[in-house]
Amino acid sequence: MGYYDIDDMLTEGSEVPCKFLQDIPGLGYLENNPGKPIKANAKLMLPYWLAHILAAIDSIPLSEDSMAVDEEEEAVPFLEMSTPESFSQRVINAIKTDPKSLDLHSINPHFYELAIKWCAIYSAKDLAKVVSDLLLQRSQDINNFAYSMSTTNKNIDSIGSMSNNTDIKPHNLLASSSFLMTLDELEKQIYRTSHESYKDSKRWMFQNK
């Protein structure tokens, strides 16, 4: 989650549905019609990096004299983020029923990282629980697929280049590749790392025999 983290940048680029709470002139280009003001209650999709800051800033005027005037007014942020499609009830239900057959990649390729950010902002305990269960459930399968690798035909050295070429056995190939397509980016990272380490340790063992 560092500043230079490419995946983090892509995560922050995913769009979130937002609602403006104030009229703001000059920002029409966010709605694709520059030159016009944005009306209060306008709904639009904004990238996360823009939305989460605007949702956090309270619009209390900075200058001191106007502070006194507006004191009774409650601090309103510029916009409000509503729950993105990735965390809608429909998706939550799907997660609860069968985590393993869920196509996370098509929901959001950066599901977990966005979920972490979302939970951090809104301290959403329910969502955090659901997502951590999801990761736990799916990691069992990830581990299985990372481990399964042809050791019988002894051509471990030739596996070499491709980490995604999991299985040489045809019936496994189908199952694993369709599962691998459903992984989100974080899971892919986990899968790749664990697959590499299984592969390396196997190669080492068979060479030392």
Minimum gap (Å) between residue 27 Cβ and other proteins: 6
Residues that bind other proteins (CB under 8 A): 3-7, 9-10, 13, 22, 24-27, 29-30, 32, 47, 49-50, 53-54, 57, 59, 61-63, 66, 78, 160-164, 192
Q: Which is nearer to other proteins, 21 or 127 (CB)?
A: 21
CA quadruple 197, 203, 208, 209: dihedral sign: positive
CA quadruple 62, 66, 72, 75: dihedral sign: negative
Q: Locate 202 and state its tokens.
A: 């196997």
Minimum gap (Å) between residue 76 Cβ and other proteins: 9
Q: Which is nearer to other proteins, 63 or 153 (CB)?
A: 63
Residues in the chain: 209
Minimum gap (Å) between residue 28 Cβ and other proteins: 11
**What is the residue-wise DSSP string for 1-57?**
--TT-HHHHHHHTSEEEEEE-S-BTT-GGGGT-TTSPBPTT-EEEEEHHHHHHHHH-
Q: Which is nearer to other proteins, 15 or 85 (CB)?
A: 15
Q: Which is nearer to other proteins, 29 or 206 (CB)?
A: 29
- Helix (H), strand (E) at residue 44: strand 43-47
Minimum gap (Å) between residue 97 Cβ and other proteins: 31
